[in-house]
Amino acid sequence: MSLVEPTVGAPERSRVRVRLVVAYDGGAFRGFAANAGVPTVGGALADALGRVLGRSVELTCAGRTDAGVHAWGQVVTFDAPEGFDAARLQRSVNGMCGPDVVVRSVAVTEPGFDARFSARSRRYRYVVLNRPVPDPFLARTSWWVPEPLDLAGLQLACDPFLGEHDFSAFCRRPKRAAPEEPASLVRRVLGAGWHDGGDGILRFEIEASAFCHQMVRSIVGTLVAVGRRSMRAGDVAGVIRSRDRARAGQLAPPHGLCLWSVAYDGWCS
């Protein structure tokens, strides 16, 4: 049942901007963006919200994650009729979409707030399971790398990524209608580093104002090459300067990646 009961002949109810924080297991989905005929996070969420509110909704997300990529702090905005019941909406959507997709919080926010364009930075986390034996309980959320990695090299190789660079060597360039005006792949990385829990679980976190397509997975693949000693930490700066995708490491698998949080003025997911 809709949470907003329509009244015949009543004027259109004014709308409010709603902000969701959403977590999901991306393994069963072909990314976030709605795509007819295939399961996507955005499609499942929009369908559930439409059923709850009794009208279609248009979603905006902070980051359009790729197929197989997870999220803990994805932010989604849309407009809903004023006076809707936020607690009931959360329960209803989670009942339809959970446990693969879960709304962690619902809030009414200022009218101009936009999940994508109001964001100041995004933080991604990538998990590498660095043990000789795989773990079936971590298989969906980590990349198993059995050979021992050079942790000092992994950390040292992060430094060249800091600051503003052209990340053409680490991104899949989007197709443009006018090839003579290619999209800029310049991004500013605010922080990057590895955290070793001492249990073979290595967590790489990177924060930037924005990311281009496959950027984090390409960076992780390059860093793991350094950890395997098939590339030197000192080579990374040259790879960045080259803008040549062929010089970077392999593309890390998607299931180890998670959109961890998104930062805005005065608030973070």
Instruction: Give the residue numbers marked as catalytic.
Output: 66
3-state secondary structure the chain: CCCCCCCCCCCCCCEEEEEEEEEECHHHCCCCCCCCCCCCHHHHHHHHHHHHHCCCCCCEECCCCCCCCEEEEEEEEEEEECCCCHHHHHHHHHHHHCCCEEEEEEEEECCCCCCCCCCCEEEEEEEEECCCCCCCCCCCCCEECCCCCCHHHHHHCCHHHCEEEECHHHCCCCCCCCCCCCCCCEEEEEEEEEEECCCCEEEEEEEECCCCCCHHHHHHHHHHHHHCCCCCHHHHHHHHHHCCHHHCCCCCCHHHEEEEEEEECCEEC
